[in-house]
Copies of this chain bind each other. A is one copy, B any other.
Amino acid sequence: MTEKRRKNSAAHEKRRQILNAAIRVFAQKGFHRCRISDIASEAKVAYGLVYHYFENKEEILNSIFDENWGLLTEVLASADERGDDLEVKLRALVDFILDAYRMVPDVIQVVVMEIARSSKFLKRPKVDAFEKAFQNLATILARAQATGHVRKDLEPKIMAYMVFGSIELILTGYLLGTIEPSIGETYEAHKQAITDVFLQGLRAPRAEPAGA
């Protein structure tokens, strides 16, 4: 059994190797522009081995997505469970995503650029996975509405979409090089900007009727 375990993990290592190579290649050339042979040579394995571990290119993309998106959903779910303030939760979400970009930009690029957009044509489950993460944030916001911290005149879902959309386009800006994220400080400033704007924008008006 020990040896089977070892074999398994050795085999698994090859799988990882291919997956990591795929992430690099997808990020660099784009999903549609790259060939299986590119992935194989990047991973330094034979062409055929890719097909031993994966049905086809799309399944590779799916695996990348599943692994990483699941993480985000978990973070959101656990943030919600702790009884933190909305500010804390929102900051945790923003931090998590921007830090992830900082550490593994290739992964983020693939998830954002190659998967998020093409999901119209991909399988249902993927859309559901997106929904799940969004729903988590929507729940957090709904709860904050209940406690009177967030304005009640807007659907939580729409607010959640706005938050994610803001983050995503900023990431896209990084990826396209139209926003310069080189300095560490900049990331922090952007995190701050996102949380600030939404905390202020979503806050329930206090004693102030905001006269017309």
Contact = CB atoms under 8 A, between A and B. Distances in A.
A148 interface: no
Contacts of A170: 158, 161-162, 165
B117 A176 contact: no
Given A158-B170, A158-B179, 10 more contacts: A32-B32, A120-B175, A127-B176, A131-B178, A153-B196, A162-B170, A163-B166, A165-B169, A168-B168, A200-B201
A185 to B, nearest CB: 12
Nearest to A180: B157
Contact of A193 (B30, B119, B158): B158
Interface in A119-151: 119-121, 127, 130-131, 134
Contact of A166 (B33, B118, B161): B161
Interface of A: 29-30, 32-33, 109, 112-114, 116-121, 127, 130-131, 134, 153-155, 157-159, 161-170, 172-173, 175-179, 189-190, 193-194, 196-203, 208, 210
Contacts of A131: 178
